[in-house]
Every structure is written in C-alpha cells, then in structure tokens.
Amino acid sequence: MENMRLRFAPSPTGALHIGGVRTALYNYLLARKNGGTFILRIEDTDQTRYVEGAEQYIVEALEWLGITPDEGPGIGGDFGPYRQSERKDIYLKYTQQLIESGHAYYAFDTSEELDVAREKDPTFKYDAMARLRMRNSISMSAEEVEAALDEGVPHVVRLKVPDNETILFEDIVRGEVAFDSSELDDKVLLKADGMPTYHMANVVDDRLMEITHVVRGEEWLSSTAHHVLLYRSLGWEQEMPAFAHLPLILKPAPESYLDKSTIPAMASRMAEEFARKYPEHAGYKAEVFALQTFQDKKNIPANLKEKEKDQADKAAFKAFLKSALYGKLSKRDGDRLGFPVFPLSWKGATAEDSFTGFREYGFLPEAVLNFLALLGWNPGDEQEMFKLEELVDIFSPERINKSGSRFNIDKAKWFNQQYMIKADDARLARLVRPILEANGQQPSDAFVEGFVSLMKERAVTLPDFWENGYYFFERPRSYEEKMIQKRWQPERSEQFAELVKDMEQLTNFSADEIKAAAERFMEKHELKFGEVLPMLRLAQAGTMKGPAIFEMMELLGQEEAIARLKLGFEAFDNIVQS
C-alpha cells in the first residue's frame, strides 16, 4: 500500500504500561516494513486524568527502545497539532456537522438524572429507547432546545445510534466482526466542557491524519462499532482505516513464580492488599488461606472456586485472589509479583503509584523489544532472536495471535542474558559503570570492559554484574568454608607458597603465562587441576562461581592477584584448623 500511515496514540495519564509499548512496537514494525510513517499522537482530551510528566515519559520510553516516531509533538509533521487538546476547534466543527445531519444530538440530562435512571434500571443504557424519555434534542421540542442552548444549559452531544442494524467490519487479526446496534449506547461525542471524548477525537484525527491502519489493544474492539458509525455518519466510510485488535497480555501462571522461597512473602502481600482494599474484611485471616492455597500450586483454580458454604470474608478473598492471579496483566502486577511491567521507572504521588521499569531493572532495550514482539505474534518458525531490523523485515499482522499471551518474566530475562552476551563490551561497560559507581567504585574504562567481558555470561540483568562479581573490585568478603574444608590440605601450604613465588617472578602476567606457571607447579608436585584451580579461584573470589580464573587474575593485575593468594591461603589454614 502506498503511503501507509500508522499511529500510536497513548493518553498521558501516568506511566506507559508494557502493553502500550507492544502496541507502539507493532505499529512501528508495520509502518517500517511498508515504507510508511509512524506517528505519535497524544490523546489528552480527558483533562481530569492528565498527569504532569506523562507525555515526556512516553517520549523517553520510545526513544530508549529505539522506536522513534516520524511525526508527533516536538517532532513536527504536516498533520499537526499532534496533541488532541490543541485541536478542540476541529472537533467542534465535525460535531456540528453530525448534529446538522441528524447523526448526533444535544443531551441536557444532569448527572443526577442519569443516576436516577440507573437506579431504576441497573441495565440502563442511553440508546434508541431511552433517548425518547430523557432530556435531549430528540425528545424536546425545537423551541425548548433553542432556549436551553441560549440559556447555556450544560449539555453533551451524543451519537444517534441507529436501531436494529448489524454493523460489520473486517479485522486483520479476528476476521469479520459483527455488532448489533441494539446492543450499543448513544456514546457521548462532546463533553459538557467542550472537549471531545476518545471516540470523536479518535475518528476525526485518524481521518484528518490519513491513518491507513489502526493497530490497538483488544479492549478497544467493542468501541469499533461506534467508530464505524462515525465514519459513515461523517461521509468517510470509503476512507475508513483497516483495523487490527491485539490480544491481551495475561498475567504469568502462578506456578511459574510460586515456590518455597516466594510463597510466604506473596501470601503476606496479598493479605495486606486485601485488607487495605476491603477494610470491611480486615479481620479475616487471609494470609493463612493464601499460604494454604499457594502451597497447593496444582489446584489453585479449583481452590479459588466460590462455594455455597463460604463465609462472606472467605468468598471476598477468593474473588480478590482470582482477579490478582489471573486475567489481564495490570500495572499493579509488577509490585505484586516482583518484576517490571513498565519500560522506565515512574515516580508517582505515592509509593503505590511508583514503579520500577525494565531499564532500571537492568534490561537492554533490544531484549525488551524482542520479548514483546513475540508476546502475541509469531514468525512462523522456531527462531526467537531478532534484531529490530529483522523484525521489520518479517513482521506480518496476519500472524498476530487471536488469544491472549501469557507474560513470562523468565523468558524476558533469558532474552536479556542472550543480548548481553552478544553486546559490545564497550557499550556494556558504559551501562554497568553507573552501578559500579553507585557502589563506590571508580575503575578505569579498560578494567570495566575486561570485567564485563569475563562476567557477561554470568549475568542476567545489569545489576547482576555487581551482585555476582563484586570481588573484582573488593577483596572477598568471605570464603566458601565447606569447599575449603573439603579441598584445602594445610600440609601443602609450603607448596602453595612456592606457587605464589612463581607467580611473583612472572615478567608477563598474562592469562597464558599464569596458566603455564600453574601447570609447571602441578607437574613438579604431581598435583591435579582439581587440587589447585579451586584454591586459586577461592583465594581470588571467595567463591567457586565465577569466570575463567587465569583471565580474572590477569585483569586484577599481578600485585592484587598475588596479595589475594597470600591472604586466601592464610585464611584457608585458619578455616581448616579452627
């Protein structure tokens, strides 16, 4: 298709959820694959939910991930403004057109009158039947309407949904979708403050910005029938974009993160959240029930089924747990389950509204993109690792799944580890340096590059470099005593002292020369690798875990490596003899 144009249109109401990032990614991939245009549009018509800093957060998140728009706020383009709050007059023009053509009408009902209607009928919706008994320009005389408008009576504008009509549209992911108009309500198009609702602004902007494909989350599928009616009512049906509604991102399966080490904390968190959210049930021993439920991992769904004999407290907690453990991945799930669900960290007004992002958690952006691309789409083969350019080449919306995709943090970590292993050492060193400096270290660039080269196969996220390799910068805080008791023989102390002297005499303290010296020592004293190398490793790092010992000693340097050997061998004697 010529001039394919796609948009990512988030609302600046807080941090950008990872589901929104996936939507942005799919729009970006489809645009790039077809030589089209990727647009950022800020949908900020709901000023009551606007959050300061949210727009900048969205921009920064897209920049970090490398999916930067071609048009948008601060970028420019021929179809601006790209903030809906700056397009108010445009929406008024088209709202007036709908009223004049009879496809929309004024509604003067107060919020109190609407509440009364809902109290009388819990299934109430403002539709073809209800509009006849409410206060609007259909049920009122022309004179009454004119007088109300002249007097400035607060009002909204509603879409006049036709009765008994089937509304059809084709969805790239789901095929033909049909809605019965009798199931739809007369959506508000223009609010009392003169700002448009999402539905009106969305359709007008997509048409005026010449959007050819609308790729968005499944939660907007039910709204599409109203949008189709709006396109038709405005005379734009022939220019209507193609739709693709993405599957939900689902919470991870509980059995994937519940184990002996996590169950107690999870039970405690769930009980605290339940008590905070439902104070009327605060006396219930929720933590006990949660512990019992989580320990029986295979039967969690069955144990959460409500039974007739359940007391009100227990029934409420079951319902709470079911919503917390299953269904759509929510912004709260990161705190609950201990993993990020936002691209970047966000500091809200309260601790509950503050979140750690993938970036701050220690993920590389390319790993996040690769993980998200496969969270609802598949390439048709077994390949898993894709650079962004490769995703652009092979992406096809027809291969987007219809069913929800389960979030798997372990898979995300696997991707991150693979990308760190492949990463350029200089780049990785730049990313790790702030973590080292936060722990009081100021090593040279060359040392950090050597460090990350040795450690990157032993790290899953960036903070792991320090957590698992602090001993490159500090002498061992402790030694693995069980291993030392098993391996160290005090009667060989003099022999190992000889090895230290051999190391001191090396004029080229390279990994190869260190290894050669160790081999000469072992041959002279008829010792095996298993009798010598573990002691060298324990002396340098305090642990048996770590990178190649000779390369590590070379990086530490002759003076430091030998000092550690002396301290370590002396400590081993004390441990065995104590």
pLDDT the model gives residue 412: 96
pLDDT the model gives residue 282: 87
135 contacts: CB under 8 Å, gap ≥ 6: 107, 108, 109, 113
Q: Shortest CA distance to 415 belongs to which of 434, 438, 387?
A: 387
Q: Do residues 47 and 349 make contact, with C-beta atoms less than 8 angstroms apart?
A: no
Token match 């919706």: residue?
Answer: 125
Whole-number Å distance between alpha carbons of 179 and 444? 65
pLDDT the model gives residue 333: 87
Residues of the chain with pLDDT below 50 are 1
Tell which phi-psi region holds residue 340, choosing left (phi > 0), alpha (psi between -120 and 50) or beta: beta
Dihedral sign, CA of 248, 251, 252, 253?
negative
Q: Do residues 224 and 245 make contact, with C-beta atoms less than 8 angstroms apart?
A: yes
Please tell me whether residue 413 adopts helix, strand or coil conformation. helix
166-171/37-40 β-pairing: unpaired
Percent of the chain with pLDDT over 90: 92
Which residues in 455-474 are b (16+ Cβ under 10 Å) and which e?
bbebbbbbbbbbebbbbbbe
Cα radius of gyration (the chain): 32
pLDDT the model gives residue 2: 63
Q: Facing residues of 157 across strands?
A: 106, 190
Which tokens go with 430? 């730049």
Whole-number Å distance between alpha carbons of 72 and 64? 17
Whole-number Å distance between alpha carbons of 127 and 161? 7
pLDDT the model gives residue 418: 98
Q: Shortest CA distance to 524 belongs to which of 498, 561, 489?
A: 498
Which tokens go with 431? 């990313």
Q: Do residues 6 and 29 make contact, with C-beta atoms less than 8 angstroms apart?
A: no
Which tokens go with 254? 């509980």
In the chain, count H helices and then E strands.
25, 11
